Amino acid sequence: MTALLIRNVAIYGTRGTDERTDVRIAGGRVSELGTNLAAAGDDVINGRGGTLLPGLCDHHLHLHAMAAAASSVSCGPPNVRTAVELAQALGAAGGRQQGWIRGTGYFESVAGDLDAVALDRLHDAGPVRIQHRSGALWMLNTAAVAAVGLDAGEHPGIERDASGRATGRLWRADEWLRSRLPAADPPSLAGVGEALSRFGITSVTDATPELSASSAAVIAADMAAGRLPQRVQLLGSPVAASTSGAGAFPPRRTPTPGPYKIVIADSQLPALDDLAALIARAHAADRPVAVHCVSRVALLLLLAALDASGVMPGDRLEHAAVVPAETIVSLRRRGLRVVTQPGFIAQRGDDYRRLMEPEDLPDLYRFRTLLAGGVRVGLSSDAPYGPLDPWAVMQASVDRLPLGGGRPLGPHERVTASEALTGYLSGPADPGGAPRQIRVGSAADLVLLHCSEQELLAGPDAAMVRMTIIAGEPVFGQ
C-alpha cells in the first residue's frame, strides 16, 4: 500500500484560522500531522490550501438498483413528463435485456395509474416492466404478465381485479419478480463505485431488504476486486447475521451486516403483534433494527410495536418522511435515530405541495425540529430513488427549495450547511452521531476540496471535490 503525504491543507473544523498542515498516510491510516513533514519516499500531493475532511457516508442507498437504473429507460420526470413522451421512450428502447424493457422512475403525473391494459396502450411490442419512483411497485404490460406467470403467482404483493386476475401491478416483490425473469447476473458495481467516488463518498449502507445471497456475493466480489472501493454495510443481511466483527467502521474489502431492515409497507401494513415479534427477534440476535417508515400511520404503528418489543442502541428509522411534531419526544425518549433524505424536497417538492394533505406538509422530511428535539439525524440519498449527489442533498437541507423554484417547503426545517454536512460525516455505525475527525490513527478515508471551509459552507457543490481517498488509496482525482 502506497504511503501518501498531503501537503498544505486546512483540516475541516479549523475555519477562521490560517492554519495549514501536512497529513501523512501509511497503512491505510493517518500516521502523522504537522507542518513541513519530510517526504521520506511518500507520494506527495500538494493540497494547495484546500480543505481536507473525512470521507462522506451515505447512510441509505441501493447498490444494485443504482447499477440497474443506469441501463434502464427513464420513465418519469424530469426526463419524461407525458404519456406521449413515455411511449416514445419505450419505443426507442427496443428489447434491452433478452427482449425485455426495464423502466424506472415512473410517477403518476406522467400517465396516471399504470396497469397492464394502460401500459399496453403505450407499448405492446414486447414485455415491459416499469418501476415506480418509490421503488415499491412494478407495473407490467400484458406480455410481461404472461411471461412471468403473474396470474398463477402466489405472492401477496400481486394486485388483482374483482375477478381474481392479475392487474399487472406488483407490490414489494423484487425477488419474486427477479426469479421469473430471464437468467442474468447482477450488474457490475464498477460504475456505481466511480459515481460514489466522484462525490467524495467513502462508505455506504445498502438498505435493500432481504438481500439475496447472490446479490450479497456480487457486492463482496466487486469490493474484493476493487470495482466498488467504498466500505459497505448491509441492512438486508439475514436476521441472524453477526455484527460482532464490524466494529465502529466496516472493513475495506468485505461487506458487513448492519441493523436489520424491516419494511412497514403502507400498501400492506403488518399486524402490531407480528411487527413487535420481528423486532424482538432481531434484538435477540443482537441486531438493532432499521425500519422503513414513511407515513404517519407507519410511524405510530412502529412506536406501538417498540413499546411491546423494547428498543436497543442503534435502532433507526429509515426515511421518516412524515413525523408529527408530537412524536419527536417519543423518538428521543426511545433513543431512535433518523436516516432521512432531504434531497426529495428538491426533487419532488412541487409534487408534495400539490398532492399531500396541507396539514401533513409541516411534518415532511423534518430536520431542524428533530435536531432541536435531541434526535440524531443521518443523511442519505436513497439512490437511485433519490438524488445521489450528497452536496445537493446538503443544499436542499439548507434552502428546502423545490427544483421548480418558488417558496421553500417547510422553511422551519432548514439547517445550516455545517449541520447538514455533519449528517454525512457521522460514521456508518452511528448515523447522526458526532462527525468523524481527522487525527493520528483514524482511517484514511478523506476528501480533498478545491476550496476553503468558508466557501464550502457558503454553498456545498460537488464541483468542490478534488480528490477522494479510501484507506489511503486515491480512488478519484489527482
> Which one of 178, 206, 233 terminates a domain?
178
Average pLDDT on 402-407 reads 84
The one-letter amino acid at 330: S
Residue 295 confidence (pLDDT): 94
* 232: confidence class by pLDDT, cuts 50, 70, 90: very high
pTM listed for this prediction: 0.91
* 387: confidence class by pLDDT, cuts 50, 70, 90: very high
By mean pLDDT, which of 21-25, 47-51, 171-175, 450-454 is the weakest? 171-175
Element (H, E) at 467: strand 465-470
Residue 429 confidence (pLDDT): 93
Q: Are 153 and 226 in a shared domain?
A: no
Note if the bond before 384 is cis, omega within 30 degrees: yes
Which residues have CB under 8 Å from 453's CB, separation 6+? 10, 12, 13, 14, 15, 51
Residue 237 lies in a domain: yes
Residue 183 lies in a domain: no
> Which one of 113, 144, 178 terminates a domain?
178
Q: Is the pLDDT of residue 442 over 80?
A: yes
> Which one of 144, 178, 212 terminates a domain?
178
Q: Are 330 and 343 in a shared domain?
A: yes
- CA separation for the pair 302, 296 (Å, rounded): 10
Q: Are 387 and 426 in a shared domain?
A: yes
Residue 31 confidence (pLDDT): 96
Q: Are 123 and 168 in a shared domain?
A: yes
Q: Are 241 and 342 in a shared domain?
A: yes
Which residues have CB under 8 Å from 322's CB, separation 6+? 294, 295, 296, 299, 360, 363, 364
Q: Are 196 and 87 in a shared domain?
A: no
**CATH code, domain carrying 318:** 3.20.20.140
Residue 375 confidence (pLDDT): 98
Residue 99 confidence (pLDDT): 83
Inter-residue long-range contacts of 38-44, CB under 8 Å, 24+ positions, other chains counted:
39/5, 40/3, 40/5, 41/3, 42/3, 42/4, 42/5, 43/2, 43/3, 43/4, 43/5, 44/4, 44/5, 44/6, 44/7
- CA separation for the pair 128, 186 (Å, rounded): 19
Q: Is the pLDDT of residue 243 over 90?
A: no
Q: Is the pLDDT of residue 245 over 70?
A: no
- CA separation for the pair 38, 5 (Å, rounded): 9
Q: Are 418 and 359 in a shared domain?
A: yes
List pLDDT tens digits, range 301-323: 999 999 999 999 999 999 999 99
Residue 244 confidence (pLDDT): 59
**CATH code, domain carrying 109:** 3.10.310.70
How does the average pLDDT of the chain come out, rounded?
93
Q: Are 131 and 103 in contact (CB under 8 A)?
A: yes
Q: Are 446 and 52 in contact (CB under 8 A)?
A: yes
Average pLDDT on 417-427 reads 97
Q: Is the pLDDT of residue 418 over 70?
A: yes
Residue 431 lies in a domain: yes
**CATH code, domain carrying 3:** 2.30.40.10
Q: Are 336 and 390 in a shared domain?
A: yes
Residue 212 confidence (pLDDT): 87
Residue 254 lies in a domain: yes
Residue 117 lies in a domain: yes
Average pLDDT on 458-471 reads 97
What angle (nearest 5°) sits at the alpha carbon of residue 133, between those of residues 88 and 144?
60
Residue 1 confidence (pLDDT): 54
Residue 140 confidence (pLDDT): 97
Q: Are 77 and 212 in a shared domain?
A: no
Element (H, E) at 223: helix 213-224
Average pLDDT on 417-433 reads 96
Q: Are 135 and 273 in a shared domain?
A: no
Q: Are 335 and 316 in contact (CB under 8 A)?
A: no
Q: Is the pLDDT of residue 405 over 90?
A: no
Across 137-146, 208-217, 245-254, the highest mean pLDDT is recorded for 137-146
Element (H, E) at 252: none
Residue 225 lies in a domain: yes
| Boundaries of domain holding 129 | 72-178
Domain count, the chain: 3
* 5: confidence class by pLDDT, cuts 50, 70, 90: very high
Q: Supply 276's cell numbers.
A: 413487535
Residue 332 lies in a domain: yes
Q: Are 113 and 157 in a shared domain?
A: yes
Average pLDDT on 366-384 reads 98
User: Closest by alpha carbon to 421, among 383, 385, 472, 461?
Assistant: 461
Residue 97 confidence (pLDDT): 60
Q: Are 382 and 449 in a shared domain?
A: no
**Going edge to edge, which strands form the sheet with 231-234?**
56-61, 201-206, 231-234, 256-257
List pLDDT tens digits, range 81-114: 999 999 999 999 865 566 899 999 999 999 999 9
Beta strands in 91-161 (DSSP E): 101-106, 128-132, 137-140, 158-160
* Total residue length of the chain: 478
Residue 98 confidence (pLDDT): 65
List pLDDT tens digits, range 273-289: 999 999 999 999 999 99
Residue 105 confidence (pLDDT): 92
Residue 472 lies in a domain: yes
